[in-house]
Amino acid sequence: MMKDIHAMKILDCKPLNRYDFSQMRNMWEPVVYEVVAELLERNEMCNCHDCVLDTCALALNSLPARYWILGSYDAFSPPEKFIGNPDNIRLAEEAVLRAYRLVQQNPHH
């Protein structure tokens, strides 16, 4: 079905090309990226491209996907609440540290 996963070409073709998928985001991404940014700033992880992306991918795969449509305001659970939730931040920290330990065992760099 999806022949070119890199370009996500299926979204450029009928019938899906009339919908704006760019607004659909996994809300764990900003939380995980924030944790990784802090580790990098403190020089607590390898800063090469492979280690950073592998760590992010592994961490995100280990967390339950939480997709949101940006701009569609949800009064009950706005994205800011999810991103700033201390429990979510702690879960993301644990996921990133676990992921980075795995990456270090078999680094691609």
Q: Assess 109 for contact with Zn ion (CB under 5 A).
A: yes
Stretch that binds Zn ion, among 5-13, 31-39, 49-57, 64-72 (CB under 5 A): 49-57
Beta-bridge mates of residue 68: 25
Q: Assess 81 for contact with Zn ion (CB under 5 A).
A: no
Least distance in angstroms from the C-beta of 101 to Zn ion: 13
Nearest to Zn ion of 39, 51 (CB atom): 51
Check: CB of residue 73 under 8 Å from CB of residue 29: no
Q: Assess 52 for contact with Zn ion (CB under 5 A).
A: no
Least distance in angstroms from the C-beta of 38 to Zn ion: 17
30-55 core/surface letters (b: 16 or more CB in 10 A; e: else): ebbbebbeebeeeeebbeeeebbebb
